[in-house]
Amino acid sequence: MTVVPLVLLSLQKTNMLEVKNLSVFYGRIKVVHSIDFSVKKGSCVALLGPNGAGKTSTISSILGTVSSSGSIRFLDKDISKMHTEERVKLGISIAPEGRRVFSNLSVFENLFIGSAIREDRKAADEEINAWLKTFPILDERRDQAAGTLSGGEQQMLTIARALMSRPKILLLDEPSLGLAPRITRQVFELIQDLKAQGMTILLVEQNATEALKLADFSFILNSGNVIASGSSEEILNKGDLMSSLTGVEA
Amino acid sequence: MDYIVQQTLNALSFGAEYALIALGLAIVFSIMNLVNFAHGEVIAIGGYTMMVMATLAFKNPIIIILGAVLAAIIMALFLERIAFRPVRYADATTGLLTAFGVSLILQNLFLLLVSPRPIAVTSMYFLDWPIRLGPIQISSLQIFETLATLIAILLLVLFLKKSLLGIAMRAASLDFEMVRLMGIRANRVIAAAFAISGLLAGIAAIFIIARRGAVDPTLGFNPVLKAFVACVVGGFGSLPGAVLGGFLLGALEVGMLVLLPQSYGGMKDAFVFAIIAIILVWRPEGILSPPKEKGDKI
Amino acid sequence: MRYPMTQGLRKHISGINMTTIAIIKNYNKSNIREKIMKQFLKNLSKILFVSFIAFPAFGDTIKVGFPVPLTGEYAPYAEIQGAKCMAEIINKNGGVNGKKFELLVQDTGTDTQTAISLTEKFLEQGVIAIGTIPFSDTMIPVAQIAAGYGVTILQAQSTQVEMHTGIVDNFISNVSPDPFTAAAAAEYALSEGVKNVVLLTSDDGGSWSAKTPLWFGEAIENGGGKVLSKMNFSIPTSDWSPQVAEMKKLSTTPDAVYISSIMPDVGVLIRQMKAAGIDAWVFGSDGLDDPSLDSVADSDKSILDKVAFGTLAPSQPGSAMQAFQKECKAMGMPVDGMFPALGADVIMAIAYAVEKTGGTDPEAIRKALRDADSIPVRTVESVSFKKNKSHAERTVPVIGFKDGVRVLLSNTIPSFVPSWK
């Protein structure tokens, strides 16, 4: 009889992010209805679903940029009442939908502002240089306004900027949106790399095929409800569901 | 020829003052979309501080200058805290009306608590002496003011380019929420913008007092109206636009004053605004309108 | 610091100071923020819309209504301080025929519509005369309403020529219109040998700033002088360097410049002309009659040597006005500057008419004022409305400076006044 709580406890310990009974509101309109999900340390979890399913609302509520109710626990701390800035300082970082690079800042400044919360200035500067080496195209445009970059380049910059704060969990919102297939592949390769290095990732994607390749576990949202969850294999086995929701042939 | 050079220098110094004040408006607007008409009363606080310090027998001009600038900064921060923070996320009209209200309340407080009439403050007269360069005559004040404006612009650019807070302020002018998502506190960025606008207002107050030698309740309000026009024509929210608009307005005003025949003199402002209207038809957002595009909000 | 207001108002203001401090202290406790804001606004409204009756009513009183600008743009011209002090002096001495003055004062915030509403209210309360915002766009409608009650608009300081064109009959100004101050200044200028003048004009202050310089020019030309040039300016102007450069460009050096504008703007002009080495007189109107002009000489006593202005009442040391101001200050009712001091004349004129008619019938009061050969007032010896009906006949002082101190240069009724009606 005492075994069950112990198991739960151990589960809880490995859950970096745990969301319970989460509802998200825009004004009076409820767009996400009491959903539960969690992300284990070092894993990659995908939130999938069609347009308007509430994926972006959910991910936004984790950083507190939309109003929500319910519990959001990060590293065993209730963060649901914290300011956005405090949540970032705890180690949550986002590469948002639409990328939102600071188009009037240079590439370098975008990375620099990404490291705003860090105290180890020197290490951060080295890291900026390392990122610029990783993406030679960004290095070439180091001092150019980020608004002049192509969509794919902006996406790389956004992810790099998000990582500059040395987050414990990285939220990726539609990283492939609007990108050419070749670029999309590069983006997912980068995410794969990050995962291999042990980064905890919460991924929101419409491109379920690619997302499922990456994800250890997925939740499927529709109209603000979790309608299915499981490993990629389990999800792919529910072929009908997938095709009807995401248009992906199983 | 000498006359043209003379009037050009005069126009430059008009422009410098407008630019200095317009910068203070623009830096707040660029981040908060708030047209801070109370900026003029922040300038006035600088002036009234000099008045109070003179009555308290402060003699050292450096101390008076520092006191005035400090008072303006504190006033700007204070207004942000009590008046503008509560309406930070309201729409632009609410902010505008709040700023007008604050401006009106402060002007009438000056009027009731001090005097509706000008009160002499002559402690900054020492900044003003004539300088003759051949046939050209300028005032040291014109040089100081133009220099101070240029230095302020330079330091501001350095701050905005090199410091984290400055970069964050530039970023915030485009996408405030994303700056918060970088872990930078919104209050800090906004307070910084107000502190800078207060600093610029304090500097402007010193030059205004040095020239006028008196404070009255509308000390800052009238110049701020001019600076507002400068911001509109330069492109609201754009710092280079504010500076350009300020110098342009200065040139237009002096130009119209000098070129219009006396019988049309009463139409000076009409001509100035007609030219500005034409510029706005050509560039509805102002000459150097700031970038507008934003990524989709999360 | 100066407090241009009464004890009652001052109490309200110290109240708000305390509240403001409380706000600063408690603002962080956001749950009480709203309460504090409400309190703040309540206190503020006390100041901004302060309404008080200066003196308690003692049965039969002489009620005078003042819907005046205590706040707003025209607040500097309010005559209240002097009117109150004078009323207090008369009341202390037993009033007029045993009747005491009761002043009904309320702030219009320099808004005409408010002035009209307050006028209606005061008329219903039985005032026998009214003083309001001293600009024709307020005075005319206020006079039209008061006419129905037979009440006179008795204005302490109005110099606007528009009021004397017969548009209303129940208007009397305690001073001479602008052409007189311009003419008096010109007369003095001519006596100093001034020949060539530059006129600075502006449309921003109505006829006061646009036409007064032209009347000055006319009087100068009548005396054999010449107008070299007319130049424009705006109100306010804090930098005159373009106009000064234009003066330097003139082929003939001007002996004098005339301007009818406000302080501190004219102070700046004086200093910039001096700095540019233009050794010309600066003549002006009552707009220069402000203590802040004297401060221009703080660092250089000689800078005001060639500055003079035609004004409404003598204000140099030793003048009746300064004696009045001293008396009021001793009573704890400071009267700052000329415009507030002129309020005393209005009260004295009413006192004279009440005594003469033995009652408080407003129409009889007006008639008594217009019939009198000479009415004793405070800022000058006497005034008379017999000749002009709508404005006083009184001497027009020209004030100048010696070693930075005001001196009375002349004080006459000018012999040549340009036609202005």
What is the identity of the amino acid at C346? V
Q: What is the mean pLDDT of residues B280-293?
A: 79
Using the predicted structure, report yes or no on whether residue B113 has a pLDDT greater than 80. Answer: yes
Q: Considering the domain boundaries, does residue B270 fall inside one?
A: no
Q: What SS3 class is residue A116?
A: coil
Q: How many CB atoms lie within 10 A of CB C132?
A: 28
Q: What is the mean pLDDT of residues C274-287?
A: 94
**Rounded Cα distance, C361 and C370, in Å:** 14
Residue type, A90: L
**Across residues C109-124, what is the average pLDDT?**
95
- Over residues B38-65, the mean pLDDT reads 94
Query: For residues A1 and B179, which has the higher predicted lDDT (pLDDT)?
Result: B179
CB A223 within 8 A of CB A55: no
Three-state DSSP state, A237: helix
Q: Is the pLDDT of residue B88 over 90?
A: no
Q: Can you give the pLDDT at residue C90?
A: 96
Looking at residue B210, its amino acid is: A
Bridge-based pairing state of the strands C129-130 and C61-68: parallel
pLDDT tens-digit readout, C33-60: 555 556 555 555 555 544 444 444 445 8
Q: Is residue C157 predicted with pLDDT exceeding 90?
A: yes
Q: How many other β-carbons are positioned within 10 Å of the β-carbon of residue C79?
A: 29
CA-wise closest residue to C15 among B112, B51, B45? B112
Q: Residue-wise over C41-52: b if at least 16 C-beta within 10 A, else e? A: eebbebbbebee
CB-based contact B212 C3, cutoff 8 Å? no
Strands C152-155 and A225-230: unpaired
Number of domains in chain B: 1
In a domain, B271, yes or no: no
In a domain, B268, yes or no: no
**CA separation for the pair B193, B178 (Å, rounded):** 17
Indicate the average pLDDT of chain C. 87
Do the chains contact at C3 and B113, CB–CB below 8 Å?
Answer: yes
Report chain A's mean pLDDT, rounded to a whole number.
89
- The answer to whether residue A61 neighbours chain B at the CB level (below 8 Å) is no
Find where tokens 């003598």 sit: C314
Confidence label for C70 from pLDDT (cuts 50, 70 and 90): very high
> pLDDT grade, residue C5 (50/70/90)?
very low
In a domain, B38, yes or no: yes
B213-269: pLDDT as tens digits: 999 999 999 999 999 999 999 998 888 999 999 999 999 999 998 888 877 777 888
8 A C-beta contact, residue C309 and residue C281: no
Alpha helices in A64-218 (DSSP H): 84-90, 107-114, 121-134, 136-140, 151-163, 181-196, 208-214
> Taking CB atoms and an 8 Å cutoff, what residues of chain A touch B293?
103, 147
Would you tell me which residues 187-206 of chain A have a C-beta closer than 8 angstroms to some C-beta of chain B?
none
CB contact under 8 A, B181 and A97: no
**Is the pLDDT confidence value at A19 over 60?**
yes
Return the CATH class of domain C62-176+317-390. Answer: alpha beta
Contact partners of B by the rule of 3+ C-beta pairs under 8 A? Answer: A, C
pLDDT confidence band for A13 (50 / 70 / 90): low
Per-residue CA distances from A152 to A149, A179, A204 (Å): 8, 6, 17
Contact B184/A at CB under 8 A: yes
Among A185, A220, A192, A223, CA closest to A204: A220
pLDDT of residue C303: 94
Q: What's residue B145's pLDDT?
A: 92
ipTM, two decimals? 0.89
**Do C233 and C260 form a contact (C-beta atoms < 8 A)?**
no
- Asked if residue C222 has pLDDT above 80, the reply is yes
pLDDT for C108 beyond 70: yes
In the predicted structure, residue B297 carries a pLDDT above the cut 70: no
Size of interface B-C (CB pairs under 8 A): 144
Nearest to B209 by CA among C295, C77, C294: C295
Among A5-19, A134-148, B146-160, C250-264, where is mean pLDDT lowest?
Answer: A5-19
Residue C254, pLDDT above cutoff 80: yes
Check residue A150 and give its pLDDT. 92
Q: How close B3 gets to chain C, by Cα (Å)?
A: 7
**Chain B residue with Cα closest to C11:** B113
Residue A147 touches partner B, C-beta closer than 8 Å: yes
Beta carbons within 8 Å of B172's beta carbon, 6+ residues apart: B31, B179, B186, B189
Residues C380, C386, C391, C397: what is their CA dihedral angle, to the nearest 10 degrees? -30
Position B298 scores a pLDDT of 25
Instruction: For residues C307 and C295, give the distance between their C-alpha atoms in angstroms, rounded to a whole number.
Output: 13
Looking at residue C298, its pLDDT comes to: 85
pLDDT in tens, B170-208: 999 889 999 999 999 989 999 999 999 999 999 999 999
Among B164, B184, B296, beta carbon nearest to A97: B296
Please tell me the predicted confidence (pLDDT) of residue C44: 56
Cβ-count burial of B130 within 10 angstroms (0-12 exposed, 13-18 middle, 19+ buried)? middle
Identify which of C127, C3, C110 has the alpha carbon closest to the alpha carbon of residue C53: C127
| Model pLDDT, residue A10 | 46
Whether residue C8 lies within 8 A of chain B, CB to CB, comes out as: no
Question: What number of H helices and E strands is found in chain A?
Answer: 11, 10
Write out chain A residues lying below 8 Å of B176, CB-based: none
pLDDT band at A247 (very low <50, low <70, confident <90, very high): low
Which chains lie within 8 Å of chain C at 3 or more CB pairs, if any? B
Q: Is residue B22 part of a domain?
A: yes
Predicted confidence at residue A248, as pLDDT, reads 52
> A180-198 pLDDT, tens per residue?
999 999 999 999 999 999 9
CB contact under 8 A, A112 and B170: no
Instruction: Report CB contact under 8 Å: C299, B254.
Output: no
pLDDT at C18: 40
Whole-angstrom Cα distance, residue C194 to residue C222? 12
The beta-carbon neighbor of A102 closest among B175, B183, B186 is: B175
Interface test with C, best of B20, B74, B111 (most C CBs within 10 A): B111
pLDDT higher than 90, residue B35: yes
* pLDDT at A12 > cutoff 70: no
Residues in B closer than 8 angstroms to C234, CB to CB, are 268-269
Whether B202 is in a domain gets the answer yes
A210 confidence band (pLDDT: 50, 70, 90) = confident
pLDDT at C7: 34
Chains that touch A (3 or more CB pairs under 8 A): B
Check whether A118 has a pLDDT greater than 80. yes
pLDDT at residue B290, as a whole number: 63
**Stretch C224-248: mean pLDDT:** 93
Contact C271 B128 (CB under 8 A): yes
Do at least 3 CB pairs under 8 Å connect A with B? yes
Three-state secondary structure call for residue A15: strand
What is the model's pLDDT at position C53?
A: 42
The secondary structure of chain C, three-state, reads CCCCCCHHHHHHHHHHHHHHHHHHHHCCCHHHHHHHHHHHHHHHHHHHCCEEECCCCCCCEEEEEEEECCCCCCHHHCCHHHHHHHHHHHHHCCCECCEEEEEEEEECCCCHHHHHHHHHHHHHCCCCEECCCCCHHHHHHHHHHHHCCCCEEEECCCCCHHHHCCCCCCEEECCCCHHHHHHHHHHHHHHCCCCEEEEEECCCCCHHHHCHHHHHHHHHHHCCCEEEEEEECCCCCCCCHHHHHHHHHCCCCCCEEEECCCCCHHHHHHHHHHHCCCCCEEEECHHHCCHHHHHHHHCCHHHHCCEEEECCCCCCCCCHHHHHHHHHHHCCCCCCCHHHHHHHHHHHHHHHHHHHHCCCCHHHHHHHHHHCCCEECCCCCEEECCCCCCECECCEEEEEEECCEEEEEEEECCCCCCCCC
- Residue C384 predicted with pLDDT over 60: yes
pTM of the model: 0.83
Longest CA pairwise span in chain B (Å): 63
Cβ–Cβ < 8 Å for A116, B180: no
Task: Give the angle C236-C241-C244 at the CA atoms, nearest 5°.
Answer: 105
Q: What is the CATH number of domain C179-311+397-412?
A: 3.40.50.2300
Is B291 touching A (CB cutoff 8 A)? yes
| Segments forming the whole domain that contains residue B67 | 2-220
Residues 146-165 of B with CB under 8 A from A: 164
Output DSSP code: residue B175.
Answer: -
- State residue C310 phi and psi, 5-degree precision: -80, 135
